[in-house]
Structure 1
Amino acid sequence: MEVDRIIGKYSSDKKGPLLFITAGIHGNEPSGVKALQKVFKELNKTKPIINGTVLGVAGNKKALKEGVRYIDEDLNRTWTKENISSRVEKSHEHKEMYEIMKVLEDESREAFTERYFLDCHTTSSASLPFISVQEVNDNDVWAHLFPTYIVRGFSDIITGDIDHYLSRIGITGFVFEAGQHTSDEAQENHEGMIWLALEKACDLNLEEISCYPECVTKFSEENAPDQKTFEILYRHELDEKVSFAMESGFENFSKITKGQLLAKENGHKVISKWDAHIFMPLYQTQGNDGFFVIKEVSGS
């Protein structure tokens, strides 16, 4: 799909926060982009009053056009302190990253009362919708205002992702994984989450939009699970040269038991050491995270 860097921008010219929404950081995850296009179309049609500004930004434009996860390297691993400070375009994804940064820097010159971010993603395997949150700033408290599963600690393990960068520069927010890449529910869940974020960040009265309540309740009441909080126990990282295959049938949050066969790596069995839940099992050709293991904990 072809898309402009700025998918949309909407304001009622009232003082308030910036809600910075990114989608398509991975080019094989277009549902967040489609959801943003639909949301901005509705905002421009009904013109509801909001405080502050909502800005929707496309991630890896070239990868989105080609329908692949990335071109040279994963854009969601490039946001390191070294890359940010060097401003040297070592890959196509560096170019995309610096363009996104420029949009945010230009927008941030305005005096906002607060800055929030929402990074929209989908998963390779079937999944309930969930939030991935880094425990810095007010991120965890903010995440617990939304009605779905919450996973803490992903960005504490994986540096170089965009939410790690945005949190590091003082913006409050989280990643939202809306479901499997091609599922019908993924776009519905992205739309619902964006509308709820507008309500909570920018004081949008949802009753002012013509698609309400369906565009919100499909996510919040039909697709989203009751809120639970999880923390990451383990990451199974893959070497570039490794041969890796998950066992079939795993979905995000599937229960696993100690001694269970999870995958095969270079012909060897990968056996669970935990009674817990599997998270982000890899069922695609690109990516260096085989799977994660998470456990349920008490909430915020």
Structure 2
Amino acid sequence: LQAVQQKVRFIKKDLNRSFTPENLERVLQAPSDELEAEDLELREIYETLKKEVEIFKPKHLVFVDLHTTTAFGGIFTIPTEEQNSLDLALSLHAPVIEGFLNGIHGTTLHFFNSNLFNIPTTAISFESGQHDERLSINRAVAALVNCLRHVGCVKPDDVESRHDDILREYSEGLPRFSKLVQIHRVNPEDNFQMRPDYKNFMAVAEGEILASDRNGNIMADRDGLILMPLYQPQGEDGFFIIEPIEGF
């Protein structure tokens, strides 16, 4: 939240690369005055969820991690490798991208699994649009409502069709299912600069110059669609390239 207030991705470290069992153990054992901003938020998230689980004793947990991106373009959903997660992702009427768990580390999707509280758990991430785009809020709400319907928390007849319409409209013309095929890693000292005007799901060609850093131009390894081009100073990933999969 401190990062949001300062309009930066993080204060000291990326919170969504900090969700590991080892890091949680360190954070829970350390005195508060020795922890950085993201450490404190990680502990608060865990302790809040743990308390709710102890109070309500659910038989199944569903986590939906809501995100926005620096680039404009379509919405999308990232599932885990479990079938329940994939089914939930497909129910949101947004493109589904597989393979992210193998490409990055320490995310909520790695962390919120059935081992966390010893309860069957389904988790997905939903990207609702660009950071400052007001309609990103509407799409996040629509995704949550559809999620509640899918898992049986609300009756289908009680869900307004406009929630489906919002998600379908922003997903129109986009592939329903894709796989991750390239990640470009970024270090702070790289002086990474993304070329302007790339948007999520924009087609790129093998050999196309997408960005540059202190070592020169950075090109696409193959044909595909670009995802989450980095247009902010902080971040570990410069861009992703995905490849649509037919048959979904």
TM-score by structure 2 length? 0.87
* Alignment partners' CA distance in 2, 1:228 and 1:171: 24
Tell me the amino acid that sits aligned with residue 219 of structure 1: I
Tell me the amino acid that sits aligned with residue 257 of structure 1: A
Q: Contact 2:188–2:234 at 8 Å: present in 1 too?
A: no
| 2:184 paired with 1:236 | yes
Structure 2 residue runs without a partner (length 5+)? none
Name which of 36, 50, 53 aligns with 1:91. 36
* Alignment partners' CA distance in 2, 1:186 and 1:115: 25
Q: Contact 2:91–2:146 at 8 Å: present in 1 too?
A: no
Where does residue 154 of structure 1 map in the other structure?
100
Where does residue 131 of structure 2 map in the other structure?
181
Where does residue 169 of structure 2 map in the other structure?
222
Name which of 99, 104, 107 aligns with 2:49. 104
Report how many aligned residue pairs link the two structures: 237
Tell me the amino acid that sits aligned with residue 96 of structure 1: E
* Alignment partners' CA distance in 1, 2:59 and 2:247: 27
Q: Contact 1:193–1:219 at 8 Å: present in 2 too?
A: no
Where does residue 232 of structure 2 map in the other structure?
284
Name which of 91, 112, 117 aligns with 1:166. 112
- More helix by proportion, 1 or 2? 2
Q: Contact 2:201–2:227 at 8 Å: present in 1 too?
A: yes
After superposition, the C-alpha distances for 1:34-87 in whole angstroms (9 at most, x for unaligned) are xxxxxxxxxxxxxxxxxxxxxxxxxxx222333332221111111112102222
Q: Contact 1:195–1:206 at 8 Å: present in 2 too?
A: no
Go from structure 1 to structure 2 and tell me whether the alpha carbon gap of 1:137 and 1:102 turns closer, same or farther (over 3 Å shift): farther
Q: Contact 1:256–1:278 at 8 Å: present in 2 too?
A: yes
Go from structure 1 to structure 2 and tell me whether the alpha carbon gap of 1:63 and 1:77 turns closer, same or farther (over 3 Å shift): same
Where does residue 13 of structure 1 map in the other structure?
none
Q: Contact 1:147–1:227 at 8 Å: present in 2 too?
A: no
* Alignment partners' CA distance in 1, 2:194 and 2:4: 26
Go from structure 1 to structure 2 and tell me whether the alpha carbon gap of 1:230 and 1:171 turns closer, same or farther (over 3 Å shift): same
After superposition, the C-alpha distances for 1:182-227 in whole angstroms (9 at most, x for unaligned) are 1132111111111111111233136547xx344x145233223366
| 2:12 paired with 1:66 | no
Cα shift at 1:165: 0.3
Tell me the amino acid that sits aligned with residue 76 of structure 1: N
* Alignment partners' CA distance in 2, 1:223 and 1:106: 36
Name which of 237, 242, 245 aligns with 1:294. 242
**RMSD of the TM alignment (CA)?**
2.0
Where does residue 202 of structure 1 map in the other structure?
152
Cα shift at 1:176: 0.4
Name which of 62, 77, 98 aligns with 1:131. 77
After superposition, the C-alpha distances for 1:69-128 in whole angstroms (9 at most, x for unaligned) are 222111111111210222236421111101110111111123323211101100100120
Cα shift at 1:267: 5.4
Name which of 10, 13, 16 aligns with 1:76. 16
Cα shift at 1:257: 0.8
* Alignment partners' CA distance in 2, 1:245 and 1:165: 31
Structure 1 residue runs without a partner (length 5+)? 1-60
Identity across matched positions, percent:
26
- Residue aligned with 2:123, SS: strand
